[in-house]
């Protein structure tokens, strides 16, 4: 099998792209779809149409025909064939174990292997409808994790139910709404969000039925206090803040901001996406935040899994605790025969109800608990220290300009005359994952970079070399990148203009 994709131009470069191994390309595709390997139609009952083609199998059902479907057509493959298919697919993915992953705002830190083992323990998997008495271990892990997160964030009460960060934001918004409603202030219909915030903040506030008031940054890249003053009113339900913000800057006026928000009767919400910068050094609860979410798949190293599952527990101050989702876990009055505490589920007095069918992404929570228990105070504080050191060191090695400082665990460089998206594609050719691009928009051609604490000085040097090599390249090279990856530049326009979202649609498209 030869391949004419012009990948000779970097032959001499010693950057080895690991996920480029085992390339086997046939018929214009990198790996056939399961459906291209086999499709078998199984006719159910008497086969519906009565005509069974040669490749159809027939299965009788104990149900009457009018309650069943006629047939099911899916790939029928052997275990060895599947093992090879998915192994091949995995070779076409860049993961944390492939190399550095400096995606700003995403905190792509190494995922310790042992946490997979604890989540795979048989007693970690019980049915959610089990009696409380029979799942004391599960409830104890939940109780202890609630306690850990409360201490780390400086919060009085924690719910583990939200299955992701955005779900946590939504819970925060719903809790704020319930609180205001309870106090006879249901007229508050605005949530204030800085322009540089994560898109989820806006979407979560809107899902909760709020009008979003967008807040510009001042010239230092922080909250503009004058703008905040004019945005605040008796209609303010909450201000959502990320601290350090998406530029990596700490909102130095946080005391004053909290006071301003509280003075008009609003609540202060903390987006936990950047908590990795603050572990053991500052706590949202001490800064005057009333409610926050934690991204355990960022700060507490649970694997991202290609986009989930994560978990987004929410912490609140005492005053908001009665509104948290149900159920939460608390210690029971009883002790066991051997004197150990028992645990029980309970409904907070004015609960907003449920935001997930059961208890959220439980297996992810187990991994987060194990990570925190492993690191302890010193480990967590050290993680933040090294994350901030790494970001500062990496930025110091870059040719690209970093307009806003002093940043903490992440920084936003500007690609200047280059197109940031093209810079990212070209970085792939150097065997590293690029940063987040084109956002926040306050920096032109933004390269939002977060190395996390897990990269060594050598890796950061290699990463800086990749950045700097790309910084020196011409726009044509960038526009043609990547050329050493599994796939070359992918046509986004065609994908959106002619949506083919299943093998059935591809089949139709080709016929």
Of residues 220-249, those binding other proteins (CB under 8 A)? 249
Q: What's the min distance (Å) between Cβ of 319 and other proteins?
A: 20
Compute the least distance from the CB of residue 200 to other proteins, in Å. 5
d(CA 439, CA 420): 10
Which residues in the 195-224 window bind other proteins by CB under 8 A?
198-200, 202-210, 212
Both tokens of 314, joined, read: 């929410």
Q: Which of 47, 100, 103, 300 binds other proteins (CB under 8 A)?
A: 103
Taking the complex as a whole, how short is the minimal distance between the CB of residue 472 and other proteins, in angstroms?
Answer: 21
Residues with Cβ within 8 Å of 404's Cβ and at least 6 positions away in sequence, in order, are 220, 221, 247, 248, 249, 411, 412, 443
- Pick from 10, 15, 52, 92: which binds other proteins (CB under 8 A)? 92
Q: Which stretch binds other proteins (CB under 8 A): 157-165, 224-232, 442-450, 470-478?
A: 157-165
The residue among 107 and 266 lying less far from other proteins, judged by its C-beta, is 107
Q: 163 vs 348, which CB is nearer to other proteins?
A: 163
Phi/psi of residue 401, nearest 5 degrees: -80, 140
Pattern of binders to other proteins over 478-497, x per CB under 8 A?
A: --x-x--xxxxxxxx-xxx-
> Which CB, 245 or 266, lies closer to other proteins?
245
228 vs 254, beta carbon nearer other proteins: 254
Nearest approach, Cβ of residue 279 and other proteins (Å): 9
Per CB under 8 A, the list member of 186, 406, 416, 444 interacting with other proteins is 406
User: Among 57, 226, 234, 401, which residue sits at the site for other proteins (rule: CB under 8 A)?
Assistant: 57
For other proteins, the binding residue among 196, 299, 392, 449 (CB under 8 A) is 392
- Residues numbered 309 to 338 that lie near other proteins (CB under 8 A) are 309-310, 312
Q: Could you say which residues in the range 277-296 bind other proteins, by CB under 8 A?
A: 278, 280-283, 286-287, 295
Give whole-number Cα distances, 456 to 94, 248, 420, 453, in Å: 19, 20, 25, 8
Q: How many Å apart are CA 467 and CA 62, to the nearest integer?
A: 63
CA angle, residues 232, 272, 98, in degrees to nearest 5: 145
Closest separation between CB of residue 386 and other proteins, Å?
A: 4
* Total residues at interface with other proteins (CB under 8 A): 202
- Rounded Cα distance between 175 and 182, Å, is 10
**Least separation in angstroms between CB 179 and other proteins:** 13
In the complex with other proteins, the residue whose CB is nearer, 108 or 321, is 108
- Are 277 and 248 in contact, with CB atoms under 8 Å apart? yes
Site for other proteins, residues 105 to 144, rule: CB under 8 A: 106, 108-112, 114, 116-118, 120-131, 133-138, 140-141, 144
| Binding residue (CB under 8 A) for other proteins from 264, 345, 375, 398 | 375
Which helix (H) or strand (E) covers residue 46, if one does? none
Site for other proteins in 438-467 (CB under 8 A): 439, 453-457
* DSSP strand pairing (71-74 vs 190-194): unpaired
Q: How far is the CB of 462 from other proteins (least distance, A)?
A: 13
Is residue 414 part of the contact set for other proteins (CB under 8 A)?
no
Q: Are 413 and 395 in contact (CB under 8 A)?
A: yes
Residues 6 or more apart whose Cβ sits within 8 Å of residue 208: 170, 173, 174, 177, 191
Among residues 95, 322, 332, 403, the one that binds other proteins under rule CB under 8 A: 95
CB of 312 to other proteins, least distance (A): 8
- With a CB cutoff of 8 Å and minimum separation 6, the contacts of 20 are 484, 485, 486
Pairing, β 446-449 against β 71-74 = unpaired
Residue 206's Cβ-side half-sphere holds a number of Cα atoms within 13 Å equal to: 8
**Least Å from the CB of residue 28 to other proteins:** 5
Per-residue binder mask for other proteins (CB under 8 A), 60-89, x = binder: -xxxx--xxxx-xxxxxx-x--xx-xxxxx
What are the distances in angstroms from CA 392 to CA 281, 381, 413? 17, 17, 12
Of 34, 55, 28, nearest to 43 (Cα)? 55
For residues 139 and 133, give the distance between their C-alpha atoms in angstroms, rounded to a whole number: 10
| Pick 233 or 495: Cβ nearer other proteins | 495
> Among the candidate windows 230-238, 260-268, 314-322, 500-508, which touches other proteins by CB under 8 A?
500-508
Distance in Å, CB of 314 to other proteins, minimum? 13
Instruction: Using alpha carbons, select from 370, 326, 334 the residue that is nearest to residue 114.
Output: 370
Q: In the bound complex, what is the minimum distance in angstroms from residue 297's beta carbon to other proteins?
A: 7
Least distance in angstroms from the C-beta of 118 to other proteins? 4
Residue with smaller CB distance to other proteins, 41 or 350: 41
Is 449:460 a contact under the CB 8 Å cutoff?
no
Cα–Cα dist 215/253, whole Å: 15
Short-list 80, 76, 38, CA closest to 59 = 76
């Amino acid at each position: 099998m030869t391949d004419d994709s012009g990948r000779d131009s970097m032959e001499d470069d010693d950057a080895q792209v690991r996920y480029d191994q085992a390339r086997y390309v046939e018929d214009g595709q990198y790996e056939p779809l399961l459906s291209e390997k086999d499709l078998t139609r199984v006719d159910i009952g008497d086969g519906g149409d009565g005509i069974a083609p040669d490749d159809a199998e027939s299965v009788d059902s104990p149900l009457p025909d009018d309650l069943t479907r006629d047939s099911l057509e899916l790939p029928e493959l052997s275990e060895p064939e599947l093992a090879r298919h998915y192994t091949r697919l995995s070779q076409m993915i860049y993961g944390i174990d492939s190399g550095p992953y400096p995606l700003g705002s995403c905190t792509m830190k190494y995922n310790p292997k042992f946490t997979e083992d604890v989540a795979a323990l048989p007693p970690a998997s019980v049915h959610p409808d089990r009696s409380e008495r029979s799942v004391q271990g599960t409830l104890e892990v939940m109780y202890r994790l609630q306690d850990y997160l409360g201490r780390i964030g400086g919060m009085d009460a924690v719910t583990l139910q939200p299955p992701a960060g955005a779900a946590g934001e939504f819970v925060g918004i719903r809790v704020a709404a319930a609180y205001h409603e309870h106090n006879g202030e249901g007229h508050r219909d605005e949530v204030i969000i800085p322009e540089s915030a994560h898109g989820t903040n806006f979407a979560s506030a809107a899902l909760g039925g709020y009008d979003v008031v967008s807040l510009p940054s001042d010239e230092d890249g922080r909250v503009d206090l004058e703008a905040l003053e004019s945005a605040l009113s008796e209609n303010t339900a909450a201000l959502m803040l990320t601290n350090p913000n998406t530029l990596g800057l700490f909102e130095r006026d946080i005391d004053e901001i909290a006071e301003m928000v509280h003075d008009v009767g609003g609540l202060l919400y903390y987006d936990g996406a950047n908590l990795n910068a603050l572990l053991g050094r500052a706590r949202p609860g001490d800064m005057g935040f009333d409610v926050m979410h934690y991204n355990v798949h960022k700060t507490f190293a649970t694997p991202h899994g290609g986009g989930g599952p994560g978990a987004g527990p929410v912490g609140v101050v005492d005053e908001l605790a009665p509104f948290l989702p149900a159920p939460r876990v608390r210690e029971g009055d009883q002790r066991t025969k051997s004197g150990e505490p028992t645990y029980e589920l309970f409904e907070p007095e004015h609960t907003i109800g449920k935001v997930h069918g059961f208890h959220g992404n439980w297996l992810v929570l187990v991994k987060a608990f194990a990570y925190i228990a492993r690191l302890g105070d010193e480990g967590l504080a050290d993680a933040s220290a090294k994350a901030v050191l790494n970001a500062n060191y990496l930025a110091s090695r870059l040719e690209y300009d970093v307009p806003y400082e002093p940043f903490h665990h992440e920084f936003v460089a500007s690609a200047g005359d280059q197109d940031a998206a093209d810079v990212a594609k070209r970085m792939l050719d150097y065997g590293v994952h690029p940063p987040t691009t084109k956002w926040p928009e306050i920096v032109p051609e933004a390269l939002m970079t977060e190395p996390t604490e897990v990269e060594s000085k050598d890796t950061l040097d290699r990463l800086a070399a990749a950045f700097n090599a790309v910084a020196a390249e011409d726009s044509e090279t960038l526009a043609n990148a990547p050329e050493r990856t599994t796939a070359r530049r992918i046509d986004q326009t065609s994908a959106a203009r002619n949506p083919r979202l299943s093998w059935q649609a591809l089949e139709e498209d080709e016929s």
